[in-house]
Chains A and B, each alone.
Chain A
Amino acid sequence: MAANYWASTQRRYWLFSREKLAEVRERLRDRDKVTHSQFPLPDQRLLNVYFNQQLIKLGKRMSTRQQAIATAQVYLKRFYTKNEIRQTNPYLVLTTAFYLACKMEECPQHIRFVVGEARGLWPEFITPDVAKLGECEFALISEMSSQLIVHHPYRTLSELQPELPLSSDEVALAWSVINDHYLTDLPLLHPPHIIAIMAIIVAVVFKPSHPGGFPGSAQTALAGAMRDGSGMNMLAAALGDNSGAGPPRIHKLVQWLAESEVDIKAVIECTQELLSLYEVWEQYSEKHCKELIGRMVKSKNLDK
């Protein structure tokens, strides 16, 4: 983290309203309707799941920090608010986002190493020519108007842990929820502290009975709990009135929230977004994403 979020370029230029974001994307689509109908792609969130998995694979041998992966995901989102995905080779873009994010999060990797790894994973889509990545880096920086610092919710979570306080299980679950929010549009829609608080609430309210294992994502742990509704009702009740309803642990958290003057409506909206991510995730098929993207890149010669 650097600089002040409130004065940051993230807040000034990369925070959209839902309507604005839809409008931006619609404009991109309108520029090239034919390609759009020719090359259907999965739901954006499923694509995000796919991209995230690819980024994790790419970063695996470089023991990349989670934060660099998160930054890369935000770069992808920013880039694709300015460029139609169907005009790009997503494998090159995501490799570049990864490469740039590593530099930005102070864990730089050599360009050759990154290209080598990417070629190992997607030989059909990445050429051995490192200049391609260098060129794409340039494009990525330009498209993002060289606004490169991304503020993440992880730090807010770490800072709030002793204050609330949160158990290590709760922190681990909230951490995974934050990982998951990069699969949605939330990083473009809400400031990081709102996301962190959403993650904390979700972790405390839906704390699953089997602690200890949220490998990366909270999806398996939370999808069921959130869907069955009782948790959501409890959450709604708790947030709706702080008269002391619900378990004391949640009551305490809600009271803290009320005093914090955090935008509770925004927090609830984020929770719903997460819930719908977990719903749509059930349809995810890595193979299907891979095929659709592959077909698009190949038939449009975007890999050249």
Chain B
Amino acid sequence: MALSPFASRSPSVAISSPNTALRLKAAAAQPAAGSAMSAVPAAHAHSELTEQLNDSVARNYERGKKLGEGTYAVVYQGRRRDTAATVAIKKIKVNADYKDGLAMDAIREVKYLQELSHPNVIALHDVFSKHENLHIVLEFLPGGDLEMLIKDQDIHYGAADIKAWMGMLARGVWFCHENFVLHRDIKPNNLLIAADGEVKLADFGLARSFADPYLNMTHQVITRWYRPPELLYGARQYSGAVDVWSMGMVFAELVLRVPFVAGNTDLDQISKICEAFGTPTEENWPGVTQLPNYIPTDGSHIIPASGRDFFLRQFPTAGPVGADLLMSMCALDPRKRTTALQVLQHSWWTIDPRPTEKEALPQKRKSAEKKMGDDLSRRGGELPDDSPFKNAARQLDFGAMK
């Protein structure tokens, strides 16, 4: 909120008149001491009733085989008893007898998925508690994820397929932004694939709503290879442009079939970005030198910003118009970067080739279910175990967790 965000002003209430009509208004309408029921069983009857509501939800799901296990969740395949539909059930590990409260990841995930309903965002069906664990019932996505398809050398795909996947991704991201939600962890293994080929944005463990103007957010989000330069420089106020950068990185990776800028450390990531796209300077990005973690580059090492030629040369599969789109998503200055809406309005979508129908997209079946389990149980910002820095879990200190 732009105005007086602090609650420390207390209401000035200094009235203490004799309390005459303090009984609950409606309670007065009740016969004073009515039923023969004693208070104790009634209390139980009640708590049972609320439990029953929850139980009726819980009973509707049958838990099947385990699909994956991560640091904060276990994912099972499940079945809805009433419709026999297959679902994924994500069991949140409540750590050490509630000692730390519910993990922020779980809360964020539930919070946003409850509100967002879109074909390109993983659907949340239900939430229930059972045996003191929180269970999140999600749409079952057996098609694996984009990372699998990118890595699998046996799968061949072309410009029309990339366009179809990118289109679904862009619609999902646009929808989030339209609803004032930043995803903050877009990467190929968070883009799951449904049985019909539809790409779904998953893992909202790092998502948050747009901050009110001038309020800070943490810059420790988005898995490094997909993290935009403003976050690497420690910006605390940012926008949907961070997700657009990640989307651009996914686009590049779909074309190249390897991560495009894959740094081993945050510093290395910055230098790889500079090599690829040019060094951020006050000329191409006014204000960049004021960012908290900005690292000055000495004059002789400044790499000029990459022009159109670079993108055309590097990403021939995308075609000249696609390269333009990619270039606009990779603008160093987040203010010059294209928005999710502008991405959707780009002429690339309407020129040849037409995007492949989702049912006709290349798919992988083998062990894809396990992949979903792994993807959903991983903590946001973590890379899969086979990545070069497997313990590079997100370091979110509590104060910075915004």
Task: Give the 4 A-B residue pairs with the shortest CB-CB distance, closest first.
Answer: A134-B98, A2-B209, A217-B11, A3-B115
A149-B111, A216-B10 given; A286·B16 CB < 8 A: yes
Q: How many A-B residue pairs have CB under 8 A?
A: 252
A57 to B50, CA, bound (A): 31
| Interface set, chain B 23-70, CB cutoff 8 A to A | 23-27, 30-35, 37-39, 42-43, 45-47, 49-50, 54
Q: Is the CB of A106 within 8 A of B208?
A: yes
Known: A158-B1, A283-B20. A219 touches B13 (CB 8 A): yes
Cβ-based interface call for B116 (8 A): yes
Interface of B is mostly: loop
Bitwise, A176-188 to B at CB < 8 A (1) or not (0) is 0001100000000
A32 and chain B: residue at smallest CB distance: B42
> Interface with A: B126-134, B191-199, B366-374, which one?
B126-134
Residue of B nearest to A63 (CB): B6
* Interface CB pairs A-B, < 8 A, 20: A1-B180, A3-B181, A31-B42, A33-B35, A34-B37, A34-B38, A35-B42, A42-B22, A43-B24, A49-B13, A59-B7, A59-B8, A63-B6, A106-B211, A131-B99, A145-B127, A146-B110, A149-B111, A149-B114, A283-B21
Measured CB to CB, the nearest residue on chain A to B43 is A87
Q: How far is the CA of A40 from the CA of B25 in the complex (A)?
A: 10
Tell me if B179 is interfacial: C-beta within 8 Å of chain A: yes
Contact status A217-B7, CB under 8 Å:
no
Stretch from B101-109, B307-315, B328-336, B387-395 contacting the other chain: B101-109
Residues of A within 8 A of B117 (CB): 7
Shortest Cβ gap from A9 to chain B (Å)? 6
Least Cβ–Cβ distance between A181 and chain B, in angstroms: 13
Contact of A106 with B10 at beta-carbon distance under 8 Å, contacts A7-B115, A40-B24, A44-B24 already known: no
Interface: A121 (CB within 8 A):
no
Judged by a CB distance under 8 angstroms, whether A99 is at the interface is: yes
Q: Which residues of B contact A135 (CB under 8 A)?
A: 98
The interface bits of chain B over 315-355 (1 if a CB of A lies within 8 angstroms of the residue's CB, else 0) are 00000000000000000000000000000000000000000
A205 within 8 A of B: no
In the complex, A137→B398 CA distance in Å? 18
